[in-house]
Each structure stands twice: as C-alpha cells, then as structure tokens.
Amino acid sequence: MHPDATDSSGAGLNLAPAAATGGRRAPSAPGELRPDPREDAAAPGAPGGGSWRVPVAVAALAAVCLSCLGPGCWEAVGGAGPCTVLLGLSLYMGCAAAAFLLGTLFSLVCRSRRAPPPDFVAAWRRLAAAARRARGSPVYGNSHESVQSRRVVISHNMDKALKEVFDYSYRDYVLSWYGNLSRDEGQLYHLLLEDFWEIARQLRHRLSHVDVVKVICNDVVRTLLTHFCDLKAANARHEEQPRPFVLHTCLRTSYDEVRFLQMCSRVLVFCLLPSKDVQSLSLRIMLAEILTTKVLKPVVDLLSNPDYINQMLLAQLERREQMNEHHKRAYTYAPSYEEFIKLINSNSDVEFLKQLRYQIVVEIIQATTISSFPQLKRHKGKETAAMKADLLRARNMKRYINQLTVAKKQCEKRIRILGGPAYDQQDEGALDEGEGPQSQKFLV
C-alpha cells in the first residue's frame, strides 16, 4: 500500500477534517480543481444529498405492500364485482399517494433551516439605552441642535420661534400625559417634529402662491368696509324699524360655530399633512378635533374680543416708538466708527439693521451731495441743513464716505446672515439694468 494512503497527515484522503468541520469544505490550494457545489449537494455523503431517499423509500414501500397482496388476494377480489375491484384499487393508490406526500413533507422539514430564537437580551438592552437617552432629548434644553443641523424652512429667526412653539406645545400637551405611560420620549418627539416641519413646508409652499397685495389691499379692505357699513346701518337711529344685522350662518349658535371650525380644520389637515398620513382617516379626524378645540376656537374667541385688539394696537404703537428712540439714540451717539461696526455685528434684530442701513444710505446721499457743492449758502429756514453741512465739511469727506460704504456693506451682510433680504443681489441687478449717471448707480 502506498504510504500516502495510510498517512493521515499527508496529501492522501483524510476524513477527519470533514467530520470535524461539520461538512464544511476546507479552503483549496491554488490551482486545485474544486468540484461543483451542486454535485456535492447531490452526493450521498453530502448534508442534503440523502433527502431525496425518503420519498423514494416510501414509494417503494407502498409498491411492495401492493405486490405482497399476492395472487390469492387478487383472486379473492376477482370473485367480487367490478365496483369492488375499482374501490380496492382506489384505496391502495390513495394510501400510496398519502405515504408519498408524507415522505416529501418530512424531507422538506428536515432540509429547512430552523429560525434563530428571539434575542430578548439584545431587545432589553435597546429599550434600556432608549430610556437612558430620553433625558438627552431636545425637549430638555437642547432646542437649537436640530435647527442648525437641518435646512432652513422659512428663515433662521422664524424657524427658531416655531421650534420654541413646538417644544412648549409638546411639553404642555403631550409630555404631560405621555410621560407617565412611557419613557421613550425621544422617538415620539423626533417623529412629531419631522411632521411639524413638513406641515410648515406645505404651509409656506401654499402661501407663496397667494397674492398678498391683492388680499390685503382689495379683499380685506372690501370686507372690512362692508362690515362697518352694515354695522353703521344697523346702529343708526331712524324712525322706522332698523334692519337687522345679517350674521354669517356659522355665528347663529355655538354649535354651528364649532361645526364650521371643524370643517375648516379638516380642510387644513387634508391640505397640510404629508401624503403618507393623509390616508389614515382616524388620524385626520383626531387632528381635526385637536385643531378645532385647542387652536382655532381659542384664537377666534381671542380675536373677537375688542379689548384685546385695542390693547394689542397700543402695545405695537408703544413698541414702535421705543424702537425708533432706540435706533435714533444708537445711531446718533455711537462713540466711534469701531464701536459703530461692533454695534452692527453684535445686533440680531433684522428690523433694527434695516433701519440702520436706511439711515446709512441717507447719510451717504447727504455727504455725497454736500461734497459736490463747494459752497452751500444758508437760506432762511434751513439753518439745520447748513449746520449739518458745516459739520460734514470739517471731516475728511472721502474717508467718511468710504467708512459709510463699508458700514452699509457690513450691515447688509449681517441682515443676509440673519435671514433677511439680500441687498447685494438687488444692487447688482439695479447696476446691470440702470442707464443713468454713475452717481445714481452708486446710490441705488
């Protein structure tokens, strides 16, 4: 016998690795011909190669049983009628088919892979990790992280305000009852936040197609005019019976008002919800009821109160006066040019920066006009303008205009960063389209 045939460590046949690896083939050496895996599967020694033997064995066993009935059995049956013979043959064939099907099913069950048992430990670890991350959710203080990581929907200031509204609403109306039922606040928070921003995008997209000038200057004005005319006619004292003031159908009773608000809420929900959520009827009904009872009804009651409207108008007028005084004081009493630039860079109020830019442009126009005339005569009633001219002449006019131009550009840059209008692009378009003198192009 050849030594290689008996040496288990040589290059001969070795059955130990195959048994140790559970039927897995060891990696072949370079250049070695590897047999087809399908041939291995069909081989008798392969793990799945003997599975076809079970149905064949069952079929053979059924055939042997039929043949073992012997001639005596068939002779006994031959004495009976043809119906009995056919019934016996049908019974035998049915038993053989049932045995074949059972063998096939048994072989399929043996070859199928068993599903791995559920990993309860890993699931419990995931739940514990989610519970530990709950305190790190944006509801507990980090309200600006998601605003910075996603795209701007409306503007930086508006998105920040909407984010605060959502956080407070989630804390007061959702977390107040959901926190006692579950500790997974983070996942629900992010899901609701994504839907909230999607609704904001849909609302912004639809409002962008509205003609604001037509709505404010035509529709709102005509509606208010008609309302006050009817109100004046209803309150006028005449000898005859005054005509009744016609109300909207939804204002007849409180029930009609709620029904009308429900209809408006359903339209809003249908138009603003994402397409994947609109298909759910129960979700639409629930959101419409919440929007009716918690948003629209309180807003209508608040706006219907005349005292609230008067107080809001007074507050806005007082705020406007305070802003004008602050702007005038900040612009007039800036101690130096460097402090003026610091004031621009440190301010985050877009309206203040717009007003400041307007004043800088006016100052540039005045300085350019005064520098164009060598002498400015004082006229009666214009002492203030003459004193202004004297103060400007005392400065280095070219340097002063350059400083104002730099401050104007810095102010426009700050406005653009805060989400305001881009004045640079507007100025470039005006310079490209304008055909006037050079001084007019510079001052546009």
Pair (385, 347) in one structural domain: yes
Residues 339 and 413 placed together within one structural domain of the fold? yes
pLDDT tens, the chain, 444 aa long = 444 444 444 443 343 444 344 444 444 444 444 444 444 444 444 444 455 566 666 666 666 665 555 455 555 555 556 777 777 777 778 877 877 787 777 777 776 556 566 666 676 666 656 555 544 444 444 444 444 456 677 888 888 888 998 899 888 888 888 878 877 767 888 888 888 888 888 888 888 888 889 988 999 999 989 888 887 877 766 656 666 667 778 888 888 899 999 999 999 888 888 888 888 888 889 989 999 998 899 999 998 898 999 999 999 999 888 877 766 655 554 667 888 888 888 888 888 888 888 888 988 888 888 776 655 544 444 444 555 555 555 556 788 888 889 988 988 888 888 888 888 666 555 444 444 444 333 333
Domain extent at residue 291:
213-237+244-306
Q: Is residue 17 part of a domain?
A: no
Residues 158 and 229 in one domain: no
Q: Is residue 165 part of a domain?
A: yes
Residues 437 and 355 in one domain: yes
CA distance 145 to 193: 13
Quote the CA–CA distance of 190 and 199 in Å, as a whole number.
14
Shared-domain flag, residues 179 and 255: no
Whether 195 and 227 map to the same domain: the answer is no
The answer to whether position 116 is within a domain reads no
Rounded to whole angstroms, the Cα distance separating 364 from 128 reads 64
Domain total for the chain?
A: 4
Residues 256 and 171 in one domain: no
Q: From its phi and psi, is residue 440 left (phi > 0), alpha (psi between -120 and 50) or beta?
A: alpha
Q: Are residues 187 and 217 in the same domain?
A: no
Same domain, 300 and 233: yes
Q: Are residues 189 and 270 in the same domain?
A: no
- pTM, 2 dp: 0.42
Q: Please tell me whether residues 177 and 91 are part of one structural domain.
A: no
In a domain, 316, yes or no: no
> Do 201 and 221 belong together in one domain?
no
